[in-house]
Amino acid sequence: MNSIDILIGNQKYELKGNESQEHLEEVAQMVRRRVESLKKKNSSLTLQKAAMLAAFDFASDLIKTKRKSSEHRAIVLSKAQKLLEKLEWDLQSNR
């Protein structure tokens, strides 16, 4: 198990996980940047509120990404089905 320490808003956090050290660093920096960005936009936010807003932002981003991925998957599957049908038709026509 890997672990890293990160400082966010003068609070030290230890992030542990089975992912690579690089992955944990990327996650930690992404969270730190988002929290700091939110606090910069509204300096009256507490660290806890900024963290919650960051969590909502990340959840929203994830939902949007999943939706786009599903839409792209449906498009690819539809095109693959059309290509398969054309190929089958061409093969039958050449018999």
pLDDT per residue as tens digits for the range 39-80: 999 999 999 999 999 999 999 999 999 999 999 999 999 999
Averaged over 79-93, what is the pLDDT? 93
Q: What are the residues whose beta carbons fall under 8 Å from the beta carbon of 23, sequence distance 6 or more?
A: 17
**Residue 94: predicted pLDDT:** 75
Query: How many domains does the chain divide into?
Result: 1
Q: To which residue do tokens 């909502």 refer?
A: 56
List the domain range (segments joined by +) for residue 10: 2-93
Percentage of the chain with pLDDT > 70? 100
> Please, how many CA atoms are within 13 Å of residue 87, restricted to the half-sphere of its CB?
6
